[in-house]
Structure 1
Amino acid sequence: MTATSLEQAFAAHHAGAVRLAYLLCGDHEQAEDAVATVWLKVHRRLERGPVDDIGAYVRRAVVNEVNSWFRKLGVRRREAARRKGDHRGTYGHDERIADADAVLHALDQLPSRTRAAVVLRYYADLSVADTAAALGVSEGTVKSSVSRGLTTLRGIMEEDER
């Protein structure tokens, strides 16, 4: 390979390669980076011998490079999401106290039997049968009390947010 053949290929195909990369990724700087990487690969390939159709080779290399960039971006985003976790880690101490206060305020507004069913079922994490036994009522009564209680709690919490 001669430096002249690489220079000629660059002069003939660089602008088209950048346009192609831009159309594929939608970001001018990323397109320039992808094409720069492609020209490095083209240089290495031309050192091994001539390429039949350098234009087709460059286009295919640009498509592969942009696709590779998108795959790596997807992996980085999934990794970032996995490391980040959910929103519980971002709550400050004051926010958790405020949320707990809001829930306690809403629970105070429920009738005592409904409040007991909700607390035993979800705070104490009892099964429906265990909650029924603790309250001395049927399982159906527990289910309906909890359902009504949660609906009322949602309404109270939504009202308090306004």
Structure 2
Amino acid sequence: MTPELVTDVYPGRTMPRQRSEASAWAADEAVTRLFAAHYRPLVRLATLLLHEPGLAEEIVQDAYVALHSRWWRLRDADKALAYLRVTVVNRSRSAIRHRRVVQAHLAAARPAPDAPSAEAGALDQLRHDDMITALRALPPRQREAIVLRYYADLSEAQTADMMGVSRGAVKSHTARGIAALRNSLDGL
């Protein structure tokens, strides 16, 4: 049986449209020899990349199957081992990426072990709401000084520049605001 030849996308190169029996036998023999000589080193390579021997064996076996099915497309049969190595490394990378995605989804699905209870979250929200209410009750300059210093995390000098006052005024507004907040929140 002679395969029909067609010109590939590469000029001057022809490829069989379907494999002949002779090329199938050549692929079988070549892949068998490569398997016998290089299976274990390729599994070791994949195991070192994946830290999972079972998956490493599966990836190497899949690489040999891929090589066999694409044997007729190899330009240089001497590069078959290089093809196998690249295939094993690429498939290992894909498995690692897949593992990371799965772990990320599993981690997102389960609550953190020391996550606060729903009641603690509700109490925190109430405390936050109380703080916002107390902060809104402050005079504008005190509120501005506290927000810039502690929420925006600016230094005294930066806060003074932003407010257009001296550093002493920032210290004074901040101290008075904190005292007012403390009095307001202690009553709750």
Scaled to the shorter chain, the TM-score interval is 0.5 to 0.7
TM-superposed deviation, 1:139: 3.2
**Alpha-carbon distance change, 130 to 66 in structure 1, aligned in 2, over 3 angstroms:** same
The residue number in structure 2 matching 1:141 is: 179
Larger Rg: 1 or 2?
2
Change (3 A) 1:87 1:15: closer
Once the two structures are superposed, the pairs formed by residues 1-162 of structure 1 within 5 Å of their partners are 1=23, 2=26, 3-49=28-74, 50-82=76-108, 84=109, 86-87=111-112, 121-124=127-130, 126-132=132-138, 139-144=177-182
Q: Distance in 1 between matches of 2:63 and 2:41?
A: 13
Alpha carbons 1:120, 1:131 under 8 Å: kept: no
- Measure the CA separation in 2 of the matches of 1:146 and 1:78: 43
Cα distance in 2, alignment partners of residues 79 and 6 from structure 1: 38
How far did 1:119 drift? 9.2
CA distance in 2, matches of 1:79, 1:7: 40
Query: How far did 1:146 drift?
Result: 8.1
Q: Indicate the SS of the match to 2:81.
A: helix
Instruction: Give structure 2 stretches of 5+ with no counterpart.
Output: 1-22, 140-175
Structure with larger RCO (C-alpha < 8 A, sep 6+)? 1
Contact 2:46 2:89 in 1 (8 A): yes
Q: Say which structure is richer in helix.
A: 1
TM-score by length of 1: 0.57
Deviates more, 1:55-64 or 1:122-131: 122-131
CA distance in 2 between counterparts of 1:143 and 1:120 reads 15
Instruction: Indicate conservation of the 8 Å contact 2:135/2:181, yes or no.
Output: no
Q: What RMSD in Å do the two structures reach over aligned CA positions?
A: 3.7
CA pair 9-145 structure 1, distance change in 2 beyond 3 A: farther
Q: Distance in 1 between matches of 2:48 and 2:126?
A: 59
Identical aligned pairs, as a percentage?
Answer: 24
What does the per-residue CA deviation read over 1:26-76, in whole Å, with 9 as the maximum and x for residues that have no partner? 221121111122112111221324533222221121111111111111122
Structure 2 SS opposite 1:126: helix
Q: Distance in 1 between matches of 2:87 and 2:184?
A: 61
Query: 1:79 and 1:120, CA in 2 relative to 1: closer, same or farther beyond 3 A?
Result: closer
Query: Is the contact between residue 18 and residue 35 of structure 1 (CA under 8 Å) also seen in structure 2?
Result: yes
